[in-house]
Amino acid sequence: QSPSNPATKSPSNQRSVATPEGECSMDDLSFYVNRLSSLVIQMARKEIKDKLEGGSKCLHHSMYTSGDKGKTSPRSAVSKIASEMAHEAVELTSSEMRGNGEDCRDGRKTFLYSEMCNKNKCGEKQQMCPKDSKEFADSISKGLMVYANQVASDMMVSVMKTLKVHSCGKPIPACVVLKRVLLKHTKEIVSDLIDSCMKNLHNITGVLMTDSDFVSAVKRNLFNHGKQNAADIMEAMLKRLVSALLGEKKETKSQSLAYATLKAGTNDPKCKNQSLEFSAMKAEMKGKDKCKSKADPCCKSLTSAERVSEHILKESLTMWNNQKQGNQGKVTNKVCCTSKDEKREKISPSTDSLAKDLIVSALMLIQYHLTQQAKGKDPCEEECPGSSMGYMSQSAQYEKCGGGQSSKSLSMKHFETRGAPGPSTCMKENQLESQKMDMSNMVLSLIQKLLSESPFSCDELTESDNKRCCDPRSSKAAPMAKRPEEQCQDNAELDFISGMKQMNRQFIDQLVESVMKLCLIMAKYSNNGAALAELEEQAALVGSGSRCGRDAMMSQNYSETPGPEVIVNNQCSTTNLQKQLQAVLQWIAASQFNVPMLYFMGDDDGQLEKLPEVSAKAAEKGYSVGDLLQEVMKFAKERQLDEAVGNMARKQLLDWLLANL
């Protein structure tokens, strides 16, 4: 009801509102416009509904009645009806407006709308049951547009008809009225459109989701896309893994590249890439070995000791280089006067020589181990006279071949040397063996080169340290160091010295750890008892032969060195289980502290007689301290469970370990 004129219910009465008196308010105007629009919409709805109900049997779906789900119906019928209705309405409105001689400002919209309707008419050609979903979607969107246009057109007609409204004796500008009316109706129109869209969308998706072909196609597409993406991701990850394992492949020309980098010292910019180059060298050897898989096959041909040796060598070289770089950087950055230079030189050579000794010790151990391994693993050496060249001589040959040759050519030479003169069967074995031992040879050769060089010669260790100050490699820093810069402060110098000490200490500690790990792993993985004994002797010789190495051995933490044999006497156990558990825990603790041999004293009741057997089994199966402790935990938990259920028939710990290790 209009607030000012409740009797007005029809468009004809609306004109009476727009009296020349101009008493009609804006609210009244909006009310009438709204009313008109609602009437138009309701009429359209009714007309559509009537047509749908009285029309073809296929017309079950409409934009407003979507209750019949799942039935196939001609979706374009609705839009068609709507289009026809809208077209008729427009025609009528246009003719009416033309007849009334009004200025039709919405002519452009009407034109567009009519054009679209005509196009719709021509395009659909009275097809009541289209099967194509695309056509269906198009028809839906067109129908919505028709509806929107119809509503807008009706509104526009209403507005235009009420433009004669005056307010306070003045005519209200048409644009103002239009704007207000449109704003008033915007919400309703949009809401209506959204509602319609959602209903239609629901129908569409409901139908589609029940279509098994469509669903399977979607799944297949998704799966294909996902599979492709997963494959890409996996490939990328593998590439990264391989690059991480093998290092960036660069143009490595010789096996001695890493060594050359090391030899070049701190002045060589390649030092930064030393580890990469070493890895590249390894990768090249991998390619030579025809290992087609990416990372593992190369490593599979190596023993654990070799892998560790390789790792330690690389690590040592990197650390060595880093340390040198650190020295260089420190010296470059913190230029000091001559008297302070002396302080630096007092620190650096001693620690450097210590580090050198440690490296030499490690290298000699690795060399010895590889040599021993070559002797032990190459039975054809003696049987095949033509291929009797030992690894030492082979490596010597490698050295003769020179650092300029690629490792591939060296490898080929190695194959030829080993395979050519011998019998065919032996040759095959030799080739297989040689493939396996190529890495050993290369490492061995590299080590020998390193050891033969003067900077790593045991005899020249001290001299080289002293010479290092005058060495051309370090001469770059010297002029800077000798510059008389008086502004260098004492505090900076002290920081520098302490930093040097700290860095050298860390470096040496790491080296010591690496060396000792190597020794332990060599001892652990060595199958030959005699070789092990020799190795230990060799290690002792190396340790005693090297002044700094011996000092380092003395100064290092006992937990990192195989300590003395330990005899344990327990005086506190009461039960058998406690006694066994105590012994096992002590065994674990002793293992953590690298006790080589643990003896238990006072086993008069025979409770610990199985302990040696257990330890042998654990060592044989490669159990670590953590593994063993976890086994003990399992036992304890099982025992708790047994106790909880009242099961008294339990195994003792050592029996359990024997059965479960």
Partner 1 sequence: MIAYCGTTTMSDDIDWLHSRRGVCKVDLYSPKGQQDQDRKVICFVDVSTLNVEDKDSKGAAGSRSEGELNLETLEEKEIIVIKDTEKQDQSKTEGSVCLFKQAPSDPISVLNWLLNDLQKYALGFQHALSPSASSCKHKVGDLEGDYSKIPSENCYSVYADQVNFDYLNKGPQNLRLEMAASKNTNNN
The residues that touch partner 1, with contacts defined as CB under 8 A, are 520, 524, 558-559, 563-574, 581-582, 585-604, 608-609, 611-612, 614-616, 618-619, 622-626, 628-630, 632-633, 636-637, 640, 643
Choice between 33 and 628, CB closer to partner 1: 628
Nearest to 59 by CA among 79, 46, 78: 78
Helix (H, G, I), strand (E, B) or coil at 166: strand
- Helix runs in 101-132, H state only: 107-124
Sign of CA dihedral 36, 39, 41, 43: negative
Choice between 163 and 583, CB closer to partner 1: 583
Choice between 480 and 633, CB closer to partner 1: 633
Rounded CA separation 471/627 (Å): 51
Choice between 424 and 571, CB closer to partner 1: 571
Give 454's Cβ-side CA count (13 Å radius).
8
Rounded CA separation 437/378 (Å): 9
For 93, 94, 130, 466, the CA distances from 101, given in Å and listed in that order, are 12, 10, 42, 114
Distance in Å, CB of 612 to partner 1, minimum: 5
Distance in Å, CB of 577 to partner 1, minimum: 10
Choice between 393 and 592, CB closer to partner 1: 592
Rounded CA separation 48/42 (Å): 10
Choice between 126 and 640, CB closer to partner 1: 640
Distance in Å, CB of 600 to partner 1, minimum: 6
Distance in Å, CB of 602 to partner 1, minimum: 7
Are the C-beta atoms of residues 536 and 569 closer than 8 Å to each other? no
Are the C-beta atoms of residues 83 and 121 closer than 8 Å to each other? yes
Choice between 428 and 524, CB closer to partner 1: 524
The amino acid that residue 236 corresponds to is A
Choice between 91 and 609, CB closer to partner 1: 609
Choice between 79 and 615, CB closer to partner 1: 615
Rounded CA separation 327/323 (Å): 6
The amino acid that residue 28 corresponds to is D
Residues 6+ apart with CB under 8 A from 279: 246, 247, 248, 314
Distance in Å, CB of 536 to partner 1, minimum: 13
Distance in Å, CB of 368 to partner 1, minimum: 21
Distance in Å, CB of 533 to partner 1, minimum: 15
> What are 33's two structure tokens?
């416009």
Choice between 43 and 619, CB closer to partner 1: 619
Choice between 332 and 592, CB closer to partner 1: 592
Rounded CA separation 510/359 (Å): 11
Nearest to 19 by CA among 144, 164, 184: 164
Are the C-beta atoms of residues 307 and 315 closer than 8 Å to each other? no
- Helix runs in 101-211, H state only: 107-124, 133-161, 174-209
Distance in Å, CB of 428 to partner 1, minimum: 36
Long-range contacts of residues 622-628, Cβ cutoff 8 Å, at least 24 apart: 623/661, 625/588, 625/591, 625/592, 628/584, 628/587, 628/588, 628/591
Q: Label residue 255 exposed, middle or buried (CB < 10 Å: 0-12, 13-18, 19+).
A: buried
The amino acid that residue 407 corresponds to is S
Choice between 294 and 517, CB closer to partner 1: 517
Rounded CA separation 210/486 (Å): 88
Distance in Å, CB of 584 to partner 1, minimum: 9
Distance in Å, CB of 367 to partner 1, minimum: 23
- SS3 of 529-547: the string is HHHHHHHHHHHHHHHHHCH
Distance in Å, CB of 653 to partner 1, minimum: 12
Distance in Å, CB of 565 to partner 1, minimum: 5
